[in-house]
Amino acid sequence: MKRSTTLAAALFAGVAVLSGCASDNRQPQQIGYISNESSTYGTIDSIQVMQAQGSSGVGAVTGGLIGGLLGNQVGSGSGRTAATVAGAVGGAVVGNNVENNRNAGKQEYQISVRMDNGDYRIVQQDSIYDLRVGNRVRLIDGRLYRY
């Protein structure tokens, strides 16, 4: 009986606390055309060309796995273990070099934008198309578009 009384008291207290948090004094939400608009429109202050990041490690890991699997196919006993280790290390080095060479020629653009609400934002894009310093732009899903 004591357990059900304690449970009922705890339940009553929880309902009382939750009902105290609820209020009927709600204000209508605005769609946000005025306040939100200034945070998505701005003017380009500068554009800098950056080299793409070299290595994420995916090439080294993939190369190491493939090299280890190929090395494991050679020999038997301790020779197989040595071939597996050598294949994994060699594959990791080759995979890392392949990834670096693949990303070597890529450029990214770092665009500094002064937003209409006074904030500054830096956006990185893989291309700038027709964007120039001084252009009015709109920020949509992390990309800048001229308007």
User: Is 94 a domain residue?
Assistant: yes
Q: Residue 63: give the domain boundaries.
A: 58-103
- Name residues whose C-beta falls within 8 Å of residue 129's C-beta, 6 or more positions apart in sequence: 146
Q: What is the pLDDT of residues 60-86, one digit of tens each?
A: 888 888 888 888 888 788 888 888 888
User: Is 73 a domain residue?
Assistant: yes
Of 123 and 77, the structure prediction assigns the larger pLDDT to: 123
What's this model's pTM, rounded to 2 decimal places?
0.45
User: Is 77 a domain residue?
Assistant: yes
Contact 35, 123 (CB under 8 A): no
Q: What is the pLDDT of residues 26-40, one digit of tens each?
A: 333 333 334 455 578
User: Is 76 a domain residue?
Assistant: yes
User: Is 117 a domain residue?
Assistant: no
User: Is 30 a domain residue?
Assistant: no
Number of domains in the chain: 1
Contact 119, 91 (CB under 8 A): no
User: Is 98 a domain residue?
Assistant: yes
Provide φ and ψ at 51, rounded to 5°: -80, 140
User: Is 2 a domain residue?
Assistant: no
